[in-house]
Amino acid sequence: MISKIQKARYVAKQGISKALIYILAIIGAFFSIFPFLWMIICSTNTNADILQKKLTLGSALLVNYKKLTELAAVWQSFFNSLFITVVAASGMIIVCSMAGYGFAKFNSRGKTRLYSFFILSMMIPFSTTMIPLFKMMVSFRIIDSFWAIIITALPSVFLLFFFRQNFASFPIQTIEAARLDGANEFYIFAGVVAPSMKSTYAAGAIWAFMREWNDFLWPLLVIQTPKKQTLTLMLSALNSAYFIDYGALMIAIVIATIPIAIIFFTLQRHFISGIVGTGK
């Protein structure tokens, strides 16, 4: 028998924990989106309004946009970034998912050792390989070319790890069944396994797209002519100008953020289910 007091205490306790959860959620959400909202607000205000901390939407969006196009070749940079990102991300996903499948479903002692070696190499910071890579790009004569960014991005150990973890849970019976039907190994991978792992590929694609779209240090080293600048390089250049037009800068940031936002919001359904296997 539950007495009335106990019941009231239980209800109160539930109420407090519910309130706590809402408070935490609202505080978290406020701090998470404030800089983001502020960026959007600033992109619609004039430089003078921004400096006066105006916190409402303005009407200077088009003026800012026009200023930005005078200051920098924003669409040129946009398409440079888009080209690099799409090609590099697709390449990374093909190369890394194939290898992830190879390690997950074709285990041998040699491969286990090789895989541990790959995982350990995650410890190598980019600054270690940066200089020899730079020298290598010079000798390949692809300095100041998008290919210098694309080909060096291909071996992503994180993606390899991510795909291996996810492929490990793919039922081996399905693969065996396809083998009995006489399908060749590559067809089994590309025609049977990969199409049924859409969430994994979606999560991998989000990760690869973000990584390449946001890449900064390596493009900073290899890209030299302004015409070939990526968006991140253009933003950084605008940010270090002596007189910064904040309205124009903010709209540039908005433009740089939109593609990632679109990719994320269209694929986010898959994102969580895709990363479940990681860390196991």
Partner 1 sequence: MNNLTKDGKYMERAISKKIKTYNPEKIHGRAGWFFVFPFLAVFLVFTVYPMMDSFYLTFHKMEGYNISFAGLANYKQLINDELFWRSLGNTFLYLIIQVPVMLLLALILSIVVNSPKLRFRGAFRTMFFIPCVTSLVAYSIIFKMMFSSDGIINMSMQWMHIIQAPIQWLREPIAAKVLIIIALVWRWTGYNMMFFLSYLQNINKEYFEAADIDGANILQKFKHITMPLMKPILLFSAIMSTIGTLQLFDETFNITKGDPNYSTISISHYIYNQSFVYAPNFAYSATLSYVVVLILVVLSIIEFRVMGDEK
Q: How far is the CB of 95 from partner 1 (least distance, A)?
A: 5
Residues 127-156 that bind partner 1 (CB under 8 A): 127-133, 135-136, 151-152, 154-155
Q: Report d(CA 264, CA 174) in Å as an integer.
A: 31
7 binds partner 1 per the rule CB under 8 A: no
Q: Report d(CA 217, CA 211) in Å as an integer.
A: 12
In this complex, which beta carbon is closest to partner 1, that of residue 75 or of residue 216? 216
**Contact with partner 1 (CB under 8 A) among 2, 3, 5, 35:** 35
Q: Report d(CA 43, CA 110) in Å as an integer.
A: 55
187 binds partner 1 per the rule CB under 8 A: no
Q: What letters, b where the CB count within 10 A reaches 16 and e where it falls short, cover 220-249?
A: ebbbeeeebbbbbbbbeebeeeeeebbbbb
**Contact with partner 1 (CB under 8 A) among 8, 12, 24, 48:** 24
Stretch that binds partner 1, among 34-42, 59-67, 68-76, 82-90 (CB under 8 A): 34-42
Site map (CB under 8 A) of partner 1, residues 90-129, x = contact: ----xxx-xx-xxx-xxxx--x--x---x--xxxxxxxxx
Residue type, 4: K
Stretch that binds partner 1, among 20-28, 59-67, 68-76, 82-90 (CB under 8 A): 20-28
In this complex, which beta carbon is closest to partner 1, that of residue 17 or of residue 196? 17
Q: Report d(CA 170, CA 158) in Å as an integer.
A: 19
**Contact with partner 1 (CB under 8 A) among 79, 144, 216, 226:** 216
In this complex, which beta carbon is closest to partner 1, that of residue 61 or of residue 134? 134
Residues 219-258 that bind partner 1 (CB under 8 A): 221, 231-232, 235-236, 239, 246, 249, 253, 256-257
Q: Report d(CA 213, CA 106) in Å as an integer.
A: 33
For partner 1, how many residues bind (rule: CB under 8 A)?
87
- Decide if 12 contacts 26 (C-beta within 8 A): no
Q: Angle formed by the axes of helices 198-214 and 74-105, to 10°? A: 140
Give the alpha-carbon dihedral of 41, 43, 48, 49, to 10 degrees. -20
Residues 63-92 that bind partner 1 (CB under 8 A): none
Cβ neighbours of residue 264 under 8 Å, at least 6 residues apart? 206, 210, 271
32 binds partner 1 per the rule CB under 8 A: yes
Q: How far is the CB of 90 from partner 1 (least distance, A)?
A: 13
